[in-house]
Amino acid sequence: MTSTTGTTYAAPSLRSLALRRTAGRLGLYAGIAAIVVWCLGPFYWMVVTAFRQVGFTFDTTPWPTHVTLDDFRTAFDTSRGNHFGQALLNSTIIGAATTAIAMVVGTFAAYAVARLHFRGKFLVLGLVLSAAMFPGVALVTPLFQLFTSIHWLGSYQALIIPDISFALPLTVWILTSFFAEMPWELEQAARIDGCTPGQAFRLVILPLAAPALFTTAILVFISAWNEYLLSSLLSNGNAAVAPVTVAIAGFTGSQPHQEPYTAVMAAGTVVTIPLIIMVLLFQRRIISGLTAGAVK
């Protein structure tokens, strides 16, 4: 005689499902918190050290102690050869010029690559991507020799042109993918309404591409603002054109062979503030551009 044994599985209760969902949410929040701490931890410690007295530079207290503004005064003090104020202006000029030129040229180039059909199109995109990934250290010696021979060493153009050479491929690559996703019917409708190709591009395509344009501009400006390798050599020690990255690296203390850590942290805090403000401002423009594109 044979018997059949059946196994029954109890459905999970509502309480167990709620516990699983709660555990999943807690894990998600814990992961987000870990990422935030990992990313913002160094910035927080830089700000804490920037407001700390020199005698307590290596104090490990995790919150601000012995608060002072002397480190910021030291950063902007020119009596020790630190030209931080001039360096901020130089970085603004270099970053703005690089961003403007890269965006103007890159927008037209990306639109042409995305809309035109020609042989070797993907090869062109591959070359653009390879140019963006080219190591800058390999260009230090030839650029130094070139700018020395044409007497450009230690000038704005010697710092702007190399930044454009790295920012332009990035601009073209990002905007090409965005323009390729835009429907061709938008331009056709504008042409039917009587727009010229230039008017269709200016009145229809550019407003819809505002999110990508502002995002790309942010990346290009930050890249030019943070560049150090080429600027450290091509500025040739000229404080009149040296950016903030070079100026901070050359900070001197009150004593020989003394590293002014607190002044460097104060300068780093000042350098980071414009980037934060710029990202917040451009973030609003990105949201407005997305909304305008959806309405249209």
pLDDT computed for residue 285 by the predictor: 61
User: Contact, 119 vs 182, CB < 8 A?
Assistant: no
Residue range 165-185: average pLDDT? 85
HSE at residue 69, side-chain half, CA atoms within 13 A, is 2
**283 or 44: which carries more pLDDT confidence?**
44
pLDDT computed for residue 254 by the predictor: 60
- Per residue in 113-167, pLDDT tens? 888 887 877 888 888 878 878 888 888 889 999 999 999 998 999 999 999 988 9
- Domains assigned to the chain: 17-70 (no CATH), 81-250 (1.10.3720.10)
Residue range 221-242: average pLDDT? 90
pLDDT computed for residue 293 by the predictor: 41
CA–CA separation, 266 vs 54, rounded Å? 12
pLDDT at 3 over 70: no
Give me the residues paired with residue 67 across strands: 52
- Reported as a pLDDT band with limits 50, 70 and 90, residue 296 is very low
Q: Which of 1-15, 109-123, 178-192, 206-220 has the lowest mean pLDDT?
A: 1-15
User: Contact, 223 vs 94, CB < 8 A?
Assistant: no
- Per residue in 53-62, pLDDT tens? 888 888 888 8
pLDDT at 257 over 50: yes
Residue range 232-244: average pLDDT? 89
CA distances from 203 to 170, 172, 272, 279 (A): 25, 21, 35, 25
Residue range 36-64: average pLDDT? 89
pLDDT at 251 over 70: yes
User: The pTM is what?
Assistant: 0.81
Residue range 8-12: average pLDDT? 52
pLDDT computed for residue 287 by the predictor: 59
**16 or 164: which carries more pLDDT confidence?**
164
- Per residue in 72-100, pLDDT tens? 988 888 887 788 989 999 999 999 999 99
| Token reading at 113 | 């690559």
pLDDT computed for residue 225 by the predictor: 92
Return the biggest CA–CA distance within the chain: 104
User: Contact, 166 vs 95, CB < 8 A?
Assistant: no
Ordered alpha helix ranges (H), the chain: 14-50, 70-76, 84-115, 121-132, 140-149, 156-181, 185-192, 197-200, 206-208, 210-226, 229-234, 244-249, 261-295
pLDDT computed for residue 119 by the predictor: 80
pLDDT computed for residue 95 by the predictor: 93
pLDDT at 170 over 80: yes
DSSP string spanning 213-225?
HHHHHHHHHHHHH
* Residue where the block lists tokens 């987000």: 32
pLDDT computed for residue 245 by the predictor: 92
What's the chain's average pLDDT?
83
Q: 67 φ, ψ to 5°?
A: -70, 135
Residue range 25-52: average pLDDT? 90
Residue range 212-234: average pLDDT? 89
